[in-house]
Amino acid sequence: MNKIKFGIFGLGRGSGFYDGVKANNGEVVAVCDFDEAKLKKAKEDHPEVTTYTDFDEFINHEGLEAVFLCNYFHEHTPYAIKALEKDIHVLSECTSNISMGEGVALVRAVEKSNAFYMIAENYPFMKFNQEMRKVYRSGVLGKALFAEGEYNHPILDQKDIAHYCPSSKHWRYHIPRIYYITHSLGPLMYITGAFPKRVTAMPVFGPLNEENGGGSLYWRLPDRSAVVTCLNDDDSVFRVTGWSHFGGHANTYRVCGELGQIENLRGEDGKVLLSFNEEHTPEGMERVSKYEADFEPDAKEAAEKAGHGGGDFFIVREFFNSIRENRKPMFDEYFATTMASVAILGHRSALEYGTPYDIPDFRKEEDRARYENDFLTPCYDSKGNPPTIANTERAEYIPTEESMKAYDEAIAEYKANHKE
C-alpha cells in the first residue's frame, strides 16, 4: 500500500488528524496556517513536518499529493480550486461552497482536474449510521419512503462561545443554522443513496438572550434551527434540520422503508432499533430488535480512537482508498454541492416561509449556467466584504453595526475576566 503524502491547511480542526492519517498509511508532510503560534506548536509536536503561512507555497511543497482543507467553514472553495488546478487531491471540511456560484466553479474545476475531490462529512461513518446503511442495503426494509436526520448541538457555555465565535465578523455570528446541514442530511444520503431534488424549509424561531442563552455572550441569530423537507430523486422524502439549538444534544436518524424501519436510539449511544410489521418480518428475524452497532473488526481499534464517533478515521480511509484505487470518492463534488444547495436554497425557502426551490444537478451544464453568477452569501468574506443575503427572516434581528459592536465588547470583557 503506497504511502500518501498529505498536507493540512488550517490547524484548528486540522491538528486532530495526524493519527488518522498515519493509521491509513499516510504521511503529513506539510501544514499551513495563518497563525504563527499554531505552526510553532505543529513544529514542536511534529518536527518532520514543513510549515507554511502562504497557501500557494504550501501546495507547491515537493511531492504533495493531497490536501485537507480545514480552514474557515465559508472559505473552502477558492483553496480547493487552487489545489485542483495543480492536480492535487482535495479533502474539504464542513461545506463545499458558501454560494451557488462557488458550487458551479468547484464542479467545473474538478471536472478539469486529474485529481479527486471529497467532502469530509464524518457523521455517516458513526457506527450506528454504518449499521443502518448495511441493513437498508440488504433489502429487508424495502424501498426507502421517509427518513429523518437531526443534528442538535446547542452551544451555551460562555467559554465555548468565546472560543467558537471570537468576533462579530466570524462566520458563526452570521451563518444561518440551515447552512450547517451536512451532519443531518449527509447520513441519510449515505444510507439510502437518494439525492434531494426539491426543498422547502421553515425557520424555528427562538432568540437567545441572557436569560435563556446561558450568559451575556450569544450571537444575534434568532432562529434555533430550520426544519427542512426534501423531495428526492427516488420519490422518498427527508425531514432534516440544520445545526439545531434546542433541547438536549443529540444526533438522531431514522429510515422508514416499505417493509420496516431502523433508527438510532436517543440516549443509548451506538444502539439501533430495527422493527417490522408482523406480516413483513423476515424469516429468522425478530419483529422488534434493539442492539448495539459496532465497527468492522479491521477498523474498530483505529475508529474508536478517532473523533466524531470514529468518523474522522473513516473519512481519511475513504479518501485515501479512492486515490489508491483511482476511483471517485463516495462523497464527491456532486454529493457535496447537492448538500450545499439544499442548505443555500433551503435558507432562501425559510426566508420566504416555505417557498419550494428546485435543487440543481451540477452534472448538467444548463443547471450550472443558471447559478454560475449567484454569489449571495450570509457571511463576511476574507476581504472584509459584508454579507449579501440576510441570515434571518426577522428583519429586527439582522446584525447591525451596533449589535456587532456590543458583541465584540462582550467578548473583550469576557476574555479580560477569564484569562487562562
How is domain 124-296+333-371 classified at the architecture level of CATH? 2-Layer Sandwich (3.30)
- The better pLDDT of the pair 310, 154 is held by 154
- Give yes or no for residue 308 having a pLDDT over 90: no
Query: Taking the mean position of all CA atoms in its chain, how far away is CA 227?
Result: 17
Predicted pLDDT at 297: 86
pLDDT for the residue 337 = 98
pLDDT at 155: 86
* pLDDT averaged over every residue in the chain: 94
CATH 3.30.360.10 range(s) for the chain read 124-296+333-371
Say if residues 265 and 174 touch (Cβ distance below 8 Å). Answer: no
Give the confidence band of 15 by pLDDT, cuts at 50, 70, 90.
Answer: confident
Answer whether residue 182 shows pLDDT above 90.
Answer: yes
- Residue 192 reports pLDDT greater than 70: yes
Burial class (CB in 10 A: 0-12, 13-18, 19+), 270: middle
Quote the pTM value: 0.96
292, pLDDT greater than 80: yes
Rounded Cα distance between 145 and 139, Å, is 13
Sheet order of strands, 357-358 included: 288-292, 271-276, 260-264, 250-257, 144-152, 237-244, 223-232, 196-205, 357-358
Amino acid in position 137: R
pLDDT surpassing 70 at residue 214: no
Three-state secondary structure call for residue 118: strand
Domain with CATH 3.40.50.720 in the chain: 4-119
The 10s digit of each residue's pLDDT in 78-117 is: 999 999 999 999 999 989 999 999 999 999 999 999 999 9
What fold does the segment set 4-119 form as a domain? Rossmann fold (3.40.50)
pLDDT score at 220: 80
pLDDT score recorded for residue 1: 63
* Dihedral class, residue 307 (left if φ above 0, else alpha if ψ from -120 to 50, else beta): beta
